[in-house]
Amino acid sequence: MAALSCLATDGDTLRCGSERVRLVGIDAPEMPGHCASGRICVKGDPFASRDALSEAMRGKTLTIVRLGKDRYGRTIADVRADGKSLSCAQIKAGQAIYVKKWDNGQTVARQCGE
């Protein structure tokens, strides 16, 4: 399904209308105040990660392949911008890390060569 308008809320999550969409298979730095107590969060600049995701999808047609829901109620999805994986784009830009246990069906591993 093509999304009309999505905004990056951080380096691995989009808001598409009322739907929150989590990119499959990656983890990006958390925005300030969003790293849950006791959780090991990815190091890096959360604003740069969010901006890189925004740039990767700017002016492109997004396709969302929904794979399920996470424990926070977000849609887990393989999201593509003009056919290119946004998960792979974030990994290649150094703005997110690959997380095998979050890679439903090894979607990202196949696309990015992880």
Residue type, 9: T
Domain definitions of the chain by residue range: 2-112
Give 36-70 pLDDT, tens digit per residue: 777 777 888 899 999 999 999 999 999 999 999 99
Percent of the residues in the chain that have a pLDDT greater than 70, as a whole number: 95
Mean pLDDT score across all residues of the chain: 89
What's the average model confidence in pLDDT over 77-95?
96
pLDDT of residue 4: 62
Topology of domain 2-112 in CATH is OB fold (Dihydrolipoamide Acetyltransferase, E2P) (2.40.50)
Inter-residue contact 32 to 46 (CB < 8 Å): yes
- Please check the confidence at residue 3 and state whether its pLDDT lies above 50: no
Instruction: For the beta carbon of residue 49, count every other beta carbon within 10 angstroms.
Output: 24
